[in-house]
C-alpha cells in the first residue's frame, strides 16, 4: 500500500515546514505579488498597501507603503453604489519589474484604475513616485473581483481584461513602451465574455520577430453542436511585433487567432466527459524556452457532478492547431467546417519576419499586410482543429470531492530512476496537494499518487493567484496572508527504510539511517528509493524491515448492545483504508455497511 501524509496547519508551523506573513494590520487582503530573485525580496500588493519583504522566514523584516485611491475617488465609488470595504479601495493587482530601480504597480483605485512607479532601494526600501501616477485603464480591471491576466515584456504590458467600469469591454491590450496602444476589436467572434487566466510570451524560434504572446482563457462557445451558452477553453495568441493595419484594423491586432483546448475523458456510451472550465495554467519551463509544458487545471460543475482534471499540453500540438485549417461558417444557417478556400498571403497568424519580407513580396510589418489578409483574420479568428492534451487524456482526474482544485505549480524533480513532475495543487479549503501522476508500464493509464496533503491555511478561501515555487519553497497566497512552505520534509515519513520507501516521494530517499533529501549524483552508498512501485521488500531487505514498521493503527471503541455508537477514525494518510471489526467473544468480524 501507499503511505502518504495529511499534515495539519499547526504541525506545519511547529516543525517550521511553513511560515505565514499576514501583514501588520490584521487582514493582508493579498491581491498581487512579485518575487524579486535578484534582491531576494517578495513584493506584495493588498488593499491600499504594498509590502516589501525579505525572503526567508516570512515573519522577518518588512517595509510597506500606503497607497490609497486618488482623493475623491473612494467617495465617487461609494456614490455609484459600490461596496466601500470590498470594492471602493485601491486593490493592487499588478506588480512587475520595470527597470533596475523601479517596479510598475497598478491598482483598481476605487474603480478608477491607476498605476505608479515604485522605487526600490538597496535594502528593499520602497517609495512611490508621487509625480508619476498614471491612468491604469487597460492595465488592470476596474472591479477587484474580475479575473485578468498580463505579462510584461520589452517594456510593454500585454493584458487580457475588461477595460471599462461596467466590466463589459473585453479586450487584449498592449500598452506602455514606445509604440501606440493596441487592442482587439469589439466583436464577439474574437472574444465572447472571456475570462482570462494566464498570459505568457513564448518564442517560436531564434528570430525574435516570431515571438508570440499566448493567452489562456475561457469564453462562450460558438462552435457546432454546442448548447447555447456553453463555455470553452481557448489558447489565443498575437505576434509581439503586431502594430495593426494601415487602413483597416488601425491599432488593432491583425495577428490574433485562437484554438480550443480540449480536456476530456471517455465516458459511458461513447460520450466524453468534457472539463471545459479553465481554472489555472502553469508553464513548466525547460532548457528549451520555446517548448515549455503547459499544465492546466479544468473543472466541470453541474448539479449532479463536480469534477476536476489536470491536462498537459505540448507547444508542438498548440502550434500544429494554429498551422491547421481555419474554422469557417458560410452564413448563419450553415454548419461550421474547415475553411477550404484559398487563404490569403501572409497567412493570418503569421508574424512579419524575414520570411514574409522577400523581394517582390515585402511584408516587413503588419502595416504592409494586404487588406484581404486583415479582412480574413478578422472574420476567421478560430482554428478548426482543437488542441488535445499529451496522450489525449488528463494526467489527473478528481470527481465528487468536497473541495475545488484552484491552482497548480509543477516542479520537475530528479530521482534515482528518472525525472518526475511533482504537482502542487492548491484547493479552496486552504490545502495543498502534492501529487505524482505515474504511467504504469506501457499502458496509457496514469496512476495518481498523493504524496502529501498540507493544510497550509485553516480557512476556506478564494485563491488570490499567488502560487509559485522558488528555492525549494512553495509560496501560497490567501486573503489572510502569504505562506512559505518547504517542498519536502523527508523525516516526516518516519524512521524506517520501509516508511521512506512507501512514501514514494521523489524528493526523499533512505540513506541507510534516515529518510533524507535525495540529491542526484551524490556518491552515497545507501540510497533507497522506489517511486514507481513503492516496494519496500526489494529496497529495504537488509534494512530491518520487519521490526520497526507497523503500518496499521488500531483504535478501540466500545458500544452497547441494541444502541448506536458513532464510529469515527480520521486517518493520518488520505490513502489509508479504514476497516472496522466487531469482536464478540473471541471472534473478530468485519463490519460492512
- Give the CB-side neighbour count of residue 480, counting CA atoms within 13 A: 12
Task: Kindly tell me which of 288 and 547 has the beta carbon lying closer to ligand NAG.
Answer: 547
Residue 563 engages ligand NAG in binding (rule: CB under 6 A): yes
Residue 60 engages ligand NAG in binding (rule: CB under 6 A): no
Q: Kindly identify the residues of this chain, within the stretch 116-155, that bind ligand NAG according to CB under 6 A.
A: 117
Q: Which stretch binds ligand NAG (CB under 6 A): 62-70, 155-163, 256-264, 555-563?
A: 555-563
Q: Which stretch binds ligand NAG (CB under 6 A): 357-365, 413-421, 434-442, 556-564?
A: 556-564
Q: At its nearest, how many Å lie between ligand NAG and the CB of residue 562?
A: 4
How many angstroms separate the CA atoms of 485 and 19, rounded?
7
The one among 333, 561, 568, 585 contacting ligand NAG by CB under 6 A:
561
How many angstroms separate the CA atoms of 568 and 492, rounded?
24
Q: Which stretch binds ligand NAG (CB under 6 A): 157-165, 384-392, 429-437, 558-566?
A: 558-566
Q: Which stretch binds ligand NAG (CB under 6 A): 83-91, 93-101, 105-113, 234-242?
A: 93-101
Q: At its nearest, how many Å lie between ligand NAG and the CB of residue 352?
A: 29
Q: For residue 210, which of 242, 249, 188, 181 has the smallest C-alpha distance?
A: 242
Task: Kindly tell me which of 115 and 422 has the beta carbon lying closer to ligand NAG.
Answer: 115
Work out whether strand 361-362 and strand 273-274 pair parallel, antiparallel, or are unpaired. unpaired
DSSP string, 549-572: ------------TTS--------S
Q: CA-CA-CA-CA torsion for 15, 514, 570, 587, nearest 10 degrees?
A: -150
Beta carbons within 8 Å of 52's beta carbon, 6+ residues apart: 41, 42, 43, 62, 63, 64, 120, 124, 125, 126
How many angstroms separate the CA atoms of 540 and 547, rounded?
12
- Supply the DSSP symbol for 491: G
What is the distance in angstroms between the CA of the first residue and the CA of the last residue of the chain? 23
Task: Kindly tell me which of 96 and 277 has the beta carbon lying closer to ligand NAG.
Answer: 96
Q: Which stretch binds ligand NAG (CB under 6 A): 153-161, 412-420, 515-523, 557-565?
A: 557-565
Q: Where are the alpha helices (DSSP H) in 33-191?
A: 73-79
Residue 175 engages ligand NAG in binding (rule: CB under 6 A): no
The one among 335, 552, 560, 583 contacting ligand NAG by CB under 6 A:
560
How many angstroms separate the CA atoms of 52 and 63, rounded?
5
The one among 1, 8, 15, 362 contacting ligand NAG by CB under 6 A:
15
Dihedrals phi, psi of 79, to nearest 5 degrees: -55, -35
Q: At its nearest, how many Å lie between ligand NAG and the CB of residue 307?
A: 39
Q: Kindly identify the residues of this chain, within the stretch 185-244, that bind ligand NAG according to CB under 6 A.
A: none
The answer to whether 483 and 456 have CB atoms below 8 angstroms apart is yes
Task: Kindly tell me which of 15 and 522 has the beta carbon lying closer to ligand NAG.
Answer: 15
- Supply the DSSP symbol for 99: S
Q: Which stretch binds ligand NAG (CB under 6 A): 28-36, 394-402, 465-473, 559-567?
A: 559-567
Residue 546 engages ligand NAG in binding (rule: CB under 6 A): no
How many angstroms separate the CA atoms of 456 and 435, rounded?
16
The one among 521, 562, 577, 583 contacting ligand NAG by CB under 6 A:
562
Q: Kindly identify the residues of this chain, within the stretch 95-114, that bind ligand NAG according to CB under 6 A.
A: 98-102
Q: At its nearest, how many Å lie between ligand NAG and the CB of residue 563?
A: 4
How many angstroms separate the CA atoms of 506 and 358, rounded?
52
Task: Kindly tell me which of 38 and 334 has the beta carbon lying closer to ligand NAG.
Answer: 38
Contacts to ligand NAG by CB under 6 A: 15-16, 98-102, 117, 543-544, 560-563
Amino acid at each position: 500500500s501507499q503511505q502518504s501524509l495529511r499534515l495539519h496547519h499547526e504541525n506545519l508551523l511547529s516543525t517550521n515546514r511553513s511560515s505565514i506573513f499576514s501583514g501588520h494590520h490584521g487582514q493582508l487582503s493579498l491581491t498581487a505579488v512579485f518575487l524579486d530573485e535578484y534582491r531576494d525580496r517578495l513584493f506584495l500588493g493588498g488593499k491600499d498597501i504594498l509590502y516589501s519583504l525579505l525572503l526567508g522566514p516570512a515573519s522577518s523584516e518588512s517595509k510597506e507603503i500606503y497607497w490609497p485611491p486618488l482623493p475623491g475617488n473612494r467617495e465617487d465609488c461609494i456614490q455609484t453604489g459600490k461596496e466601500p470595504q470590498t470594492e471602493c479601495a485601491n486593490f493592487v493587482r499588478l506588480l512587475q519589474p520595470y527597470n533596475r530601480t523601479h517596479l510598475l504597480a497598478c491598482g483598481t483605485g476605487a474603480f478608477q484604475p491607476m498605476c505608479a512607479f515604485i522605487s526600490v532601494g538597496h535594502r528593499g526600501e520602497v517609495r512611490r513616485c508621487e509625480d508619476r501616477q498614471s491612468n491604469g485603464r487597460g492595465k488592470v480591471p476596474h472591479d477587484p473581483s474580475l479575473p485578468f491576466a498580463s505579462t510584461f515584456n520589452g517594456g510593454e504590458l500585454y493584458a487580457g481584461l475588461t477595460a471599462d467600469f461596467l466590466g463589459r469591454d473585453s479586450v487584449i491590450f498592449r500598452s506602455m513602451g514606445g509604440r501606440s496602444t493596441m487592442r482587439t476589436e469589439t466583436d464577439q467572434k474574437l472574444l465572447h465574455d472571456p475570462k482570462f487566466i494566464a498570459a505568457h510570451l513564448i518564442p517560436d524560434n531564434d528570430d525574435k520577430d516570431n515571438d508570440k504572446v499566448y493567452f489562456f482563457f475561457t469564453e462562450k462557445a460558438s462552435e457546432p453542436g454546442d448548447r447555447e451558452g456553453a463555455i470553452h477553453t481557448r489558447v489565443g495568441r498575437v505576434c509581439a511585433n503586431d502594430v495593426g493595419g494601415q487602413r483597416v484594423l488601425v491599432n488593432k491586432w491583425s495577428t490574433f487567432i485562437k484554438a480550443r483546448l480540449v480536456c476530456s475523458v471517455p465516458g459511458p456510451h461513447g460520450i466524453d466527459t468534457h472539463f471545459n472550465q479553465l481554472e489555472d495554467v502553469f508553464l513548466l519551463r525547460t532548457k528549451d524556452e520555446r517548448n515549455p509544458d503547459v499544465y492546466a487545471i479544468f473543472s466541470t460543475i453541474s448539479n449532479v457532478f463536480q469534477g476536476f482534471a489536470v491536462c498537459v499540453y505540448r507547444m508542438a500540438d498548440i502550434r500544429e492547431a494554429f498551422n491547421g485549417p481555419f474554422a469557417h461558417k458560410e452564413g448563419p444557417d450553415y454548419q461550421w467546417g474547415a475553411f477550404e478556400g484559398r487563404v490569403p498571403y501572409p497567412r493570418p497568424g503569421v508574424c512579419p519576419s524575414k520570411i514574409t519580407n522577400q523581394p517582390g513580396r515585402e511584408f516587413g510589418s503588419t502595416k504592409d499586410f494586404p487588406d484581404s489578409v486583415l479582412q480574413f483574420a478578422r472574420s476567421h479568428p478560430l482554428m478548426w482543429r482543437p488542441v488535445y492534451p499529451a496522450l489525449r487524456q488528463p494526467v489527473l482526474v478528481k470527481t465528487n470531492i468536497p473541495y475545488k482544485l484552484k491552482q497548480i505549480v509543477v516542479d520537475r524533480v530528479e530521482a534515482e530512476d528518472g525525472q518526475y513532475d511533482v504537482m502542487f495543487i492548491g484547493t479552496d479549503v486552504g490545502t495543498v496537494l502534492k501529487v505524482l501522476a505515474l504511467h504504469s508500464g506501457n499502458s496509457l493509464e496514469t496512476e495518481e499518487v498523493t504524496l502529501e496533503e498540507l493544510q497550509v491555511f485553516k480557512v476556506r478561501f478564494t485563491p488570490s493567484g499567488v502560487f509559485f515555487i522558488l528555492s525549494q519553497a512553495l509560496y501560497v497566497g490567501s486573503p489572510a496572508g502569504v505562506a512559505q512552505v518547504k517542498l519536502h520534509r523527508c523525516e516526516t515519513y518516519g524512521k524506517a527504510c520501509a516508511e521512506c520507501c512507501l512514501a514514494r516521494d521523489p524528493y526523499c530517499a533512505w540513506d541507510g539511517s534516515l529518510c533524507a533529501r535525495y540529491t542526484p549524483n551524490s556518491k552515497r552508498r545507501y540510497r533507497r528509493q522506489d517511486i514507481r512501485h513503492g516496494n519496500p521488500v526489494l529496497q529495504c531487505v537488509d534494512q530491518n524491515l520487519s521490526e520497526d514498521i507497523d503500518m496499521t493503527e488500531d483504535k478501540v471503541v466500545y458500544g452497547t448492545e441494541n444502541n448506536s455508537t458513532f464510529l469515527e477514525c480520521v486517518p493520518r494518510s488520505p490513502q489509508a483504508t479504514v476497516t472496522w471489526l466487531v469482536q464478540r467473544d473471541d471472534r473478530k468480524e468485519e463490519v460492512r455497511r
